[in-house]
Amino acid sequence: MDRVSSFDEPLKKLLGGATAKVMAEHLDLHTVGDLLHHYPRRYEERGKLTALADLPLDEHVTVVAQVADARILMFNNGRGKRLEVTLTDGSGRLQLVFFGHGVHKPHKELLPGRQAMFAGKVSVFNRKMQLAHPTYQLLDASDADEATEAVDAFAGRLLPIYPACKQLDSWRIAKAVDAVLPSAQDAVDPLPASLREGRGFTPLPEALLKVHRPQTKADIEDAKARLKWDEAFVLQVALARRRYADTQLPAVARRPVEGGLLDAFDAKLPFTLTEGQEKVSKEIFDDLATEHPMHRLLQGEVGSGKTMVALRAMLTAVDAGGQAAMLAPTEVLAQQHHRSITEMMGELAEGGLLGGSEQGTKVVLLTGSMGAAARRQALLDLVTGEAGIVIGTHALIEDKVQFHDLGLVVVDEQHRFGVEQRDALRSKGKQPPHLLVMTATPIPRTVAMTVFGDLETSVLDQLPAGRSPIASHVVPAKDKPHFLARAWERVREEVENGHQAYVVCPRIGDEAEEDAKGAKKAKAKKAAPDEDPEKRPPLAVLEVADELRKGALAGLSVEVLHGRMHPDEKDDVMRRFAAGDVDVLVATTVIEVGVNVPNATAMMIMDADRFGVSQLHQLRGRVGRGSAPGLCLLVSEAHEASPARARLSAVAATLDGFELSRIDLEQRREGDVLGQAQSGVRSSLRMLTVIDDEEVIAAAREEAVAIVAADPELEHLPELRTVLAALLDKEREEYLDKG
């Protein structure tokens, strides 16, 4: 058998169909290689017992403990019987319960003094922690003569505890690993020998043996250091190769033209750009001036002026004879960008129109819900080159849309666009256009290096002059109802002072279809660990708006905005809110990004614990955009000691989006953060944690860049090429920045 194929061997050949089926369906493990990369979550020291005192409720656990006593109890007038076993480990006690026919075997085996490993889900019955019908494995020999020997062999050994599932316990997985462990010798080592030796890493087969069957704690550390490096390095090589391939593509250089559209625009700006905007603009202009496509990620704080930077880049592309397209994730955002860009440009956005500037260009909007005539005209303006700038939703990607000469694509809110959509738009240029990706969710450096590693990164971290501070407070609606009443008074005070307010709710409400959808979702999705499953449904826009009109905000002009409204209706509400004709806008998260109403100073986020950290930060960024200070009130019924409240307190405590994104990352599972950025790549990050292993990622990136620069095709590194091919087969080729 050759070196690669033993890793590709299907598990059913070695383990039998039933076990292999459970592994495939519940743990997504299909081959020998998958199982060898299914690492233990932790290790029990066999010589000492697990702390029963620290068992988490409602989790599937594995414990090693001793039987203190066992007794059979009758119930139902003697018709039913149950076996109750008490375990102890010196730190606490735990009850096991077995019912019906299931009591015979454990009654014979679980005798006082016996030691065993138990697995099951921790629940509470009669105020006592218990495992109902756990599976177990005896750890001491039943034959008295063998007992001493068995205990000696057992003591001091490290027992791997694997990520398991209800259908397959940790020790059954351990047995399966034993069956495939000899194949670890066939592992293809992706690290070049010079790098491996230079950094003193354990060889890969040895690292796999040590991680699954460690003799000492040092073995575990050794193996982890090596396996983390592999993951970081292979991923960074894939990204470096992608980045290198992009630099080899041809593109038309787009250089600023003296006395052109950009100069005319800059001359009429009523304010000066921040140092950050100047610096980032220079990075972008330098990229645009090269004959390879720019691939740049522009990330910045909410309200740091990313749109201004992007617009100046778009004007440069137009000056250089090209066109620029801005892709937004929603119609509301596309319309908002179109409105703010045409307002910023003034007569420069009316090229070819009466009263327009001679240097101007046409700025068109293209969305799926436009009328046929307006759409026809927009398409015509694009194909003739009459329109230098187009702003739209994914409607821009459709086959019908043709450009005269697409020079720059700006993608807003990258995480909502798949790479296929981005590439479909890029393919509309005669040569690959330059690409600027914007995100308003600050990304910690480690995540940026891992997920967006094929993009150069620019960061805007200072707010433009004239932006006001935002005070944020948590309003505990359940514990202190008078706080909620005072919060509504504060909203009224803001309106009486000539300002406006947002009220954000998690749901739209008032539709049978939505209720059915909600019920279906609720059934499918278990409550989050810190949520009470009996919790009332989230507050809804339509109901809250109704109550406010009759009660707390009676007499004020209260309007609603949500995704089910017709686009014209949405646009009308946003226009009237921007014009100051609406006092309070009750909305869903459609206002999350891009909405710019400087006169709006207050925001109340209802059921704030239902939103994620970065989403709350985004929403809060809609206030304090003018000269008056902003106020953001996070209303929640979550219990003071709950993780949900801790999350809200973190948001209230800082306005630093980068700090919050870090907190967010620490609180969520890795997979949520990387999301589909790793989609389809099972074997990618198993050991590496993006937030804790910054040094590993940075060092691996440096090595990867040097290796790819010296040998772009990896001709001299066949093993690395093999591992990459397995990671990036054709279907998975573009996983790196899906989102």
Distance CA 621, CA 150 (A): 64
End-to-end CA distance of the chain: 38
Question: Which band of pLDDT confidence, cut at 50, 70 and 90, is reported for residue 466?
Answer: low
Which residues 6+ apart lie within 8 Å of 5 measured at CB?
none
CB 59, CB 121: distance < 8 Å: yes
**Going by DSSP bridges, is the β-strand pair 630-636/470-476 parallel, antiparallel, or unpaired?**
parallel
Residue with tokens 């514990």: 479
Sign of CA dihedral 369, 370, 376, 379: negative
Among 634, 652, 616, 645, smallest CA distance to 531 is for 645
Between 81-85, 117-121, 198-202, the lowest mean confidence (pLDDT) is in 117-121
Q: Would the pLDDT of 45 be above 90?
A: no
Q: What is the mean pLDDT of the chain?
A: 81
Output DSSP code: residue 10: B
Sign of CA dihedral 190, 195, 199, 200: positive
Neighbours of 733 (CB within 10 A): 13
Instruction: State whether residue 476 is helix, strand or coil.
Output: strand
CB 505, CB 606: distance < 8 Å: yes
- More reliable by pLDDT, 364 or 58: 364
Query: Bridge-partner residues for 439, per DSSP?
Result: 299
**C-alpha angle with apex 413: 409 to 415, nearest 5 degrees?**
110
Question: Which band of pLDDT confidence, cut at 50, 70 and 90, is reported for residue 221?
Answer: very high
pLDDT at site 723: 83
- Give the containing element (helix H, strand E) for 85: strand 80-88
Distance CA 194, CA 382 (A): 54
Output DSSP code: residue 397: G
Question: Which band of pLDDT confidence, cut at 50, 70 and 90, is reported for residue 210?
Answer: very high
Among 201, 261, 253, smallest CA distance to 231 is for 201
Output DSSP code: residue 186: G
Q: Would the pLDDT of 320 be above 50?
A: yes
Helix axes 718-727, 217-248, angle to 10 degrees: 90
Secondary structure of 616-670 in the HEC alphabet?
Answer: HHHHHCCCCCCCCCEEEEEEECCCCCCHHHHHHHHHHHCCCHHHHHHHHHHHCCH
Burial of residue 589, with CB atoms counted within 10 A of its CB: 0-12 exposed, 13-18 middle, 19 or more buried: middle
399 vs 118, 275, 409, 424, 604, CA distance in Å? Answer: 59, 41, 16, 9, 42
pLDDT at site 596: 77
- More reliable by pLDDT, 530 or 465: 465
Distance of CA 733 to the CA centre of its chain: 20
Distance CA 588, CA 608 (A): 12
Distance CA 224, CA 42 (A): 12
Residue-wise burial string across 296-324, b where 16 or more C-beta atoms lie within 10 A, e elsewhere: bbbbbbbbbbbbbbbbbbbbbbbbbebbb
Structure confidence by residue, pLDDT tens digits, 425-460: 667 778 889 989 888 777 776 677 776 677 788 888
Left (φ > 0), alpha (ψ -120 to 50) or beta: where does 12 sit? alpha
CB 632, CB 651: distance < 8 Å: no
Query: Bridge-partner residues for 94, per DSSP?
Result: 87
pLDDT at site 729: 54
Q: What is the pTM of this model?
A: 0.67
123 vs 50, 81, 158, 530, 642, CA distance in Å? Answer: 18, 20, 27, 16, 19
Q: Which two tokens stand for residue 517?
A: 């959808």
Instruction: State whether residue 680 is helix, strand or coil.
Output: coil
Mean pLDDT of 308-335: 91
pLDDT at site 355: 52
pLDDT at site 731: 37
Q: Would the pLDDT of 669 be above 70?
A: no
* Percent over 90 (pLDDT), the chain: 31
Distance CA 481, CA 467 (A): 32
Question: Which band of pLDDT confidence, cut at 50, 70 and 90, is reported for residue 137?
Answer: confident
CB 538, CB 507: distance < 8 Å: yes
**Hey, what amino acid is at 373?**
A
**Hey, what amino acid is at 6?**
S
CB 193, CB 204: distance < 8 Å: no
Neighbours of 471 (CB within 10 A): 14
Neighbours of 719 (CB within 10 A): 18
Give me the helices (H) in 360-502, please: 372-384, 419-426, 445-451, 481-496
Mean pLDDT of 52-77: 81
Structure confidence by residue, pLDDT tens digits, 616-645: 888 888 888 878 889 999 999 888 888 888
Among 174, 173, 157, smallest CA distance to 165 is for 173
Residue with tokens 């045409």: 342
Distance CA 64, CA 139 (A): 9
Question: Which band of pLDDT confidence, cut at 50, 70 and 90, is reported for residue 85?
Answer: very high
